[in-house]
Amino acid sequence: MLTLSGVTKRYPTGDRALTDIELTLPKGQVMALIGPSGAGKSTLIRCVNRLVEPTQGSIRLDDVELTRLSGSGLRKARRSMGMIFQEYALVDRLTVMENVLSGRLGYVGFWRSFLRRYPQDAVAEAFRLLERVGLPHAIDKRADALSGGQRQRVGIARALLQSPKLLLVDEPTASLDPKTSRQIMRLIRELCAERELATIINIHDVALAQQFADRIVGLRAGQIVFDGRPDELTSDILTTIYGEEDWDTSPESVDEPESDPTPAQYERRDITGAMASGVAP
């Protein structure tokens, strides 16, 4: 359903964020995108809905070439792609209902949205979604009065009100506690199954990714270095994605160093260090 081919992003500073990405996502699949910070995960999903402009390549959603859209065509395409953000990105000073209804902005005209006169079916659907995510009582609260987990639920309801075909999820659990993280991931997973949504989830937590995704893609320095099922993800592969580290999760024993270096040794090291950095050829 979603096809990326040859997608490259070079920032004006010259940094290459993505190099030649090839990726196909079928309907109803939940794909987790993992990789170290700065690997280009956020850039990748922002290229799909064009919050970031890709430099080269083609991105197709069903039969629409997304990279060539502009103006109203782009807005129409965006409404079929729901996005869920790290740190929720709700508009703090609007109420919960206004935030959820803003998912409908792509469908209504300016004056309707300005006067907050949304169509009846949109309001009914928004309330149904709030009930589904467990927040019907918060309808008139301001978004900044909610807790982190609650805000993320509002964010999810907003994304789903767009009636999307595709969900783009950027670090949904980065600022949540472990229990809330699981609840949120489970909710996203269930909603995707209910609505057969294709989903890309950027996530730092490898264990959560393995538990809740159908497929895992590993990104390193803007290139895909792994693409497979969650159970295929081994320590070796984690090393290719993230670099050398002990991936064993059992508690580590910390050994005392055998002998402390003497002050004299420190001193010599300092001076040579300073000289090495000072006398650059």
Residue ranges that bind other proteins, judged by CB under 8 A: 49, 51, 72, 75-79, 81-83, 85, 87, 89-94, 98, 102-107, 110, 113-114, 155, 158, 162, 168, 263, 270-271, 274-275, 277-278
- In the complex, least distance from residue 89 CB atom to other proteins, rounded to whole angstroms: 4
Q: Which is nearer to other proteins, 111 or 179 (CB)?
A: 111
Q: Which is nearer to other proteins, 36 or 106 (CB)?
A: 106
Q: Which is nearer to other proteins, 85 or 212 (CB)?
A: 85
Q: Which is nearer to other proteins, 278 or 281 (CB)?
A: 278
- In the complex, least distance from residue 135 CB atom to other proteins, rounded to whole angstroms: 17
Phi, psi values for residue 57, rounded to 5°: 100, 175
- In the complex, least distance from residue 164 CB atom to other proteins, rounded to whole angstroms: 10
Q: Which is nearer to other proteins, 9 or 220 (CB)?
A: 9
Q: Which is nearer to other proteins, 158 or 220 (CB)?
A: 158
Torsion angle (degrees, nearest 10) of CA 112, 118, 120, 125: 150
Cβ pair 46, 52 in contact under 8 A: yes
- In the complex, least distance from residue 242 CB atom to other proteins, rounded to whole angstroms: 26
Q: Which is nearer to other proteins, 243 or 263 (CB)?
A: 263
DSSP string across the chain = -EEEEEEEEE-TTS-EEEEEEEEEE-TT-EEEEE--TTSSHHHHHHHHTTSS--SEEEEEETTEEGGG--HHHHHHHHHTEEEE-TT----TTSBHHHHHHGGGTTTS-HHHHHTT---HHHHHHHHHHHHHTT-GGGTTSBGGGS-HHHHHHHHHHHHHHT--SEEEEE-TTTTS-HHHHHHHHHHHHHHHHHHT-EEEEE-S-HHHHHHH-SEEEEEETTEEEEEE-GGG--HHHHHHHH-S-----SPPP-PPPSSPPPHHHHHHHHHHHHHHHHS--
- In the complex, least distance from residue 271 CB atom to other proteins, rounded to whole angstroms: 7
- In the complex, least distance from residue 90 CB atom to other proteins, rounded to whole angstroms: 7
- In the complex, least distance from residue 254 CB atom to other proteins, rounded to whole angstroms: 26
